[in-house]
């Protein structure tokens, strides 16, 4: 579950259209738990290509989401029976937002931040 919640922050970088192309590239996402019994913080790498997010790592994580032309982010991340949803905003080189565990999350929630590499 902890990986799902962390991946949520990563997924927050996803984009669903050509409008998101300006967000293409490699991003480093940091997820911080502020509520619940989840690990305190995680860092992950993702790549965005043509507005689509791709998790860059070994964990079995499913991500889906989008970023609008103004950088508004909505994302869902799952692994097994655990799921988390997040939202926030991306700029040209950084972004931030919040996440909340949905299924099997133990009430975990927190913030995420992202930096373009």
Strands 41-49 and 25-35: antiparallel
DSSP string, 26-64: EEEEEEEEEESSS-SEEEEEEEEETTEEEEESSS--EEE
Per-residue pLDDT of 26-83, as tens digits, reads: 888 888 999 998 878 887 887 777 667 777 888 888 777 777 778 887 877 777 888 8
Whole-prediction pTM: 0.76
- Give 103 or 71, the one with higher predicted confidence: 71
What is the pLDDT of the chain when averaged over all its residues? 78
Architecture of domain 2-116: Beta Barrel (2.40)
In 3D space, the residue among 90, 44, 92 whose CA is nearest the CA of residue 67 turns out to be 90
CA angle 106, 107, 113 (to 5 degrees): 110
Domain boundaries, the chain: 2-116
Cα 102 to Cα 108: distance, rounded to the nearest angstrom: 9
- Give 43 or 8, the one with higher predicted confidence: 43
């Amino acid at each position: 579950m902890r990986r799902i919640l962390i991946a949520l922050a990563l997924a927050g970088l996803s984009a669903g259209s050509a409008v998101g192309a300006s967000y293409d590239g490699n991003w480093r996402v940091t997820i911080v738990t502020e509520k619940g019994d989840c690990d305190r913080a995680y860092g992950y790498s993702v790549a965005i290509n043509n507005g689509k997010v791709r998790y860059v790592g070994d964990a079995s994580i499913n991500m889906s989401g989008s970023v609008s032309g103004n950088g508004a982010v909505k994302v869902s991340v799952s692994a097994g029976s655990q799921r988390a949803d997040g939202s926030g905003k991306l700029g040209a080189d950084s972004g931030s937002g919040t996440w909340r565990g949905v299924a099997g999350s133990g009430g975990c929630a927190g913030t995420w931040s992202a930096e373009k590499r």
